Amino acid sequence: MAIDQELYRPPPPVTPPEGGSWRQRVIPWWPHPNILTGILLGAGGYALGHFLGNVIAGNWARFGNTNMNDVALIIGYLVATLGFLVGIGALNYPVAKIFGLDPPLAKAAPRGLSRYFAYTPDHKVVGWQYLIGMLIYFFTGGMFALAIRTELLFPRYHSHIFNPETYLTIVGIHGTMMMMMMTSVIVGPFGNYFVPLMIGAKRMAYPRLEALSFWLTPPAYIILLSTMLVGGFPTGWTGYAPLANEAVQGMDGYEVAFALMALSLIITSVNMIATIVDFRAPGMRWTRLPMFVWGALTTSVLTALAPPVLFAGLYFMGMDRTVGTALFVDAHGGSSYLWENVFWFFGHPEVYILALPGFAIAAELLPVFTRRRLFGYNVSAAGMIGVCFMSWFVWQHHLFVSGINADMRPLFMLTTEVISIPTGFIYLVAMATLWKGKLRFEVPSLFVLAFYLNFLIGGVSGVFLSDVPVDVTVHGSFFVQAHFHYTIMGGLIFAFFGAIYYWIPKMTGYEMNKTLGWIHFWVMFIAFQLTFIPLFIVGELGMPRRYFEYAPKWATLNQTASAGAYAIAISMIIFVINLVYSMVWARKRSVENPWFSRGLEWQTATPPPPDNFERIPLVLSHPYDYGNPIEDIPVADLRGVPTPAVLAASAAGVSGGSDEIDDPPGPGAGPGDRGGEQ
């Protein structure tokens, strides 16, 4: 209880000094830690770090001869990030605690609009910060995609918009930014916002770490973009050695930005796992856990284990590029092949870090819009666990043509095909839920249906690619590019927009405009097919990825894809117009539960109050009990204290959660109060 009070304590009242006006004592907004102080200290930190780097390594012969001091740049980035975190107030609490002082964050917790630009332990604010932050990532990455498609409008000669290395940098930033964004696009906004609400908790387990996980992403964004200023990087998002070792200073930005994002992911996952395991309300048994929470949990297991491998690889790369180690340099005793393995040992679980949250969103929304209980709930959860487990055994299918031991190829072909079985569990559960369901064609459900169609195409083409003969034929072509865009953009991003339309009324209390939502969906859906189906064909015909020139015979297909990409951009503009129109211009109050969902998050007030629930709820029944006789049993008792009548109604189902029913939480007590110190 003490912690919650401390976190959400309102600012102390300001009393006027004796003989003076109270206005003289009002502290202006700017001395409080906020994004502007963060930017100021970040810029200062960069200058300091760069200076230190020059002092340390300015006279190293290698850097002198190449006009590139990678040490100065990397230390500059790191001190800039540290300065930004100091400026935003991330270190106030731990530093104050170290010195035994009253934590300043509790006193200075901002209110109003400014809290969205500050370091705050409120999980709903962090959810909003993630949502806007990831949309900025997505739109920026999308602009780079448009640049790629513009360059590829015409095959060759006098049509070039960019020079070749700029084009490669654009491809690299697009890929890296999108991959960085996709890892957090569901778990960041919706995980942080809704997991506590869905499991009946007042907050995340480690609120300050939650804030830290978000505030690491803006420096990563800026650092990645800054690579353009120092020559860019030629490797794409995969950063293959030895090209990465040869590259100019833009590669340093890639390393640091990706490492910051890896750190953010690790922090998020630890927080998410601790929250889901330890903060579930009484009665929220594992078998009652919403599918979205299952998805967040399994994704978090992957993000706890995979990004550390990436982080280590990037650290090695940084050492190679600065202090002269040769971990990835074959000629000096290292191995570029080591990078390929390290990267894909992260990179393929990463694919499922992107897929699982999409599946989780779709499985969460489907029962709501079909009014049917999720068919095979246990199978679906088992499928997610199976994907989570199997994803560690498939990474070498990315290396089929790299010269790996030929005997290993059938093994990884087999494991890659086997992972389609748990994926199939999740998919078929959804199809069975649709069967005879009373489907409502609302905007969120349209996005969910599109998710399943797109993922089917992406998944089946992925099974093709798992076969060595096919992979050897189309490796490095646009066929592969179209495949993973169907799974990631066609899957995850469609689920992401479905989630936005589904949960925005809960988050804001206002409806999104339905007509604009429909237009957004249909333009995006058609444009998506228009963009990526031609790329399957040009890939099959042999067009390689990452080339800025191509044979004139592929021009029509490429121009069709480019037209589709522009149409996707138009659909995004429609979305932004809808968001601004519905949330600012013509606000229309939403009803409390517009989708008639049984989800626990919909049972509390809209938008959710600061502590989510007045009391920790007592979960009484399954979140997907639609269309059966026990639907009348409420999903939870929000009064928190079980009455004999409720106990009788819920029979034996109330004691299997994380808390025992014979120790009911009192007012204000419960899992949300147990977190203790970070």
Q: Is 627 in the site for another protein (CB under 8 A)?
A: no
Nearer to another protein, 36 or 248 (CB): 248
Compute the least distance from the CB of residue 89 to another protein, in Å: 22
Compute the least distance from the CB of residue 648 to another protein, in Å: 51
Contact residue for another protein among 549, 560, 646, 668 (CB under 8 A): 549
Alpha-carbon torsion, ordered 321, 325, 330, 335, to 10 deg: -90
Compute the least distance from the CB of residue 529 to another protein, in Å: 28
* Among the listed residues 429, 417, 502, 487, the one whose alpha carbon sits nearest the alpha carbon of residue 454: 487
Contact residue for another protein among 15, 30, 158, 405 (CB under 8 A): 158
CB 620 within 8 A of CB 283: yes
DSSP single-letter state for residue 599? -
Q: Is 24 in the site for another protein (CB under 8 A)?
A: no
CA–CA dist 504, 513 (Å, integer): 11
Nearer to another protein, 68 or 523 (CB): 68
Part in contact with another protein (CB under 8 A); list of ranges 162-170, 186-194, 261-269, 485-493: 162-170
CA–CA dist 411, 414 (Å, integer): 5
Bridge-partner residues for 544, per DSSP?
Answer: 477
**Mutual angle of helices 70-88 and 207-215, in 10-degree steps:** 140
Compute the least distance from the CB of residue 247 to another protein, in Å: 6
Contact residue for another protein among 56, 91, 96, 143 (CB under 8 A): 143
Compute the least distance from the CB of residue 30 to another protein, in Å: 16
Residues 396-425 that bind another protein (CB under 8 A): none
Task: Mark residues 266-305: x for contact with another protein by CB under 8 A, - for none.
Answer: ----------------------------------------
Q: Where do the H-state alpha helices sit in 99-248?
A: 104-108, 123-151, 164-184, 192-199, 207-215, 217-226, 243-246
Task: Taking the CA atoms of 627, 193, 443 and 297 in sequence, report the sign of the dihedral they define.
Answer: negative
Nearer to another protein, 226 or 658 (CB): 226
Part in contact with another protein (CB under 8 A); list of ranges 32-40, 165-173, 377-385, 515-523: 165-173
- CA 330, chain centre distance (Å): 35
Compute the least distance from the CB of residue 170 to another protein, in Å: 7
Nearer to another protein, 31 or 158 (CB): 158
Residues 228-257 that bind another protein (CB under 8 A): 228, 231, 234, 242, 245-248
CA–CA dist 2, 6 (Å, integer): 6
Residues 300-339 that bind another protein (CB under 8 A): 329, 331
Compute the least distance from the CB of residue 162 to another protein, in Å: 6
Q: Is 15 in the site for another protein (CB under 8 A)?
A: no
**CB crowding 617-645: b at 16 or more within 10 Å, else e:** bbbbbbbbbbeeeebebbbbbbebebeee
Compute the least distance from the CB of residue 579 to another protein, in Å: 12
Nearer to another protein, 94 or 324 (CB): 324
**CB crowding 106-133: b at 16 or more within 10 Å, else e:** bebbbeeeebbbbbbbbbbbbbbbbbeb
Nearer to another protein, 132 or 277 (CB): 132
Provide Rg for the chain, Cα atoms.
26
Length reported for the chain: 678
Compute the least distance from the CB of residue 339 to another protein, in Å: 13
Nearer to another protein, 228 or 541 (CB): 228
Task: Taking the CA atoms of 79, 82, 88 and 89 in sequence, report the sign of the dihedral they define.
Answer: negative
Compute the least distance from the CB of residue 17 to another protein, in Å: 15
Q: Where do the H-state alpha helices sit in 581-643?
A: none
- Tokens in use for 323? 């202090």
Q: Is 544 in the site for another protein (CB under 8 A)?
A: no
Compute the least distance from the CB of residue 64 to another protein, in Å: 8
CB 328 within 8 A of CB 320: yes
Part in contact with another protein (CB under 8 A); list of ranges 155-163, 214-222, 277-285, 669-677: 155-163
- Give the residue carrying structure tokens 């050695």: 241
Burial class (CB in 10 A: 0-12, 13-18, 19+), 22: exposed
Compute the least distance from the CB of residue 206 to another protein, in Å: 32
Cis before residue 242, ω within 30 degrees of 0?
Answer: yes
Bridge-partner residues for 619, per DSSP?
Answer: 636
Nearer to another protein, 245 or 513 (CB): 245
Residues 50-69 that bind another protein (CB under 8 A): 61-62, 64-68
Compute the least distance from the CB of residue 245 to another protein, in Å: 5
Q: Is 98 in the site for another protein (CB under 8 A)?
A: no
* Among the listed residues 659, 656, 652, 650, the one whose alpha carbon sits nearest the alpha carbon of residue 620: 650
Task: Taking the CA atoms of 444, 447, 449 and 452 in sequence, report the sign of the dihedral they define.
Answer: negative
- CA 59, chain centre distance (Å): 41
- Angle at CA of residue 268, ends 265 and 274, nearest 5°: 140
Q: Is 157 in the site for another protein (CB under 8 A)?
A: yes
Nearer to another protein, 246 or 660 (CB): 246
Compute the least distance from the CB of residue 219 to another protein, in Å: 17
Nearer to another protein, 385 or 555 (CB): 555
Part in contact with another protein (CB under 8 A); list of ranges 154-162, 311-319, 391-399, 539-547: 154-162
Q: Where do the H-state alpha helices sit in 371-436?
A: 377-390, 408-418, 420-434
Compute the least distance from the CB of residue 675 to another protein, in Å: 36
Nearer to another protein, 331 or 652 (CB): 331
Nearer to another protein, 165 or 417 (CB): 165
Nearer to another protein, 311 or 548 (CB): 548
Residues 579-618 that bind another protein (CB under 8 A): 584
Contact residue for another protein among 39, 56, 161, 470 (CB under 8 A): 161
Compute the least distance from the CB of residue 70 to another protein, in Å: 11
CA–CA distances in Å: residue 400 to residues 285, 409, 421, 464, 476: 43, 6, 22, 14, 11
Contact residue for another protein among 105, 145, 152, 170 (CB under 8 A): 170
DSSP β-ladder status, 636-637 and 618-619? antiparallel
- Tokens in use for 107? 């006193």
Q: Applying CB under 8 A, which residues contact another protein?
A: 22-23, 61-62, 64-68, 143, 147, 156-158, 160-166, 170, 228, 231, 234, 242, 245-248, 329, 331, 549, 584
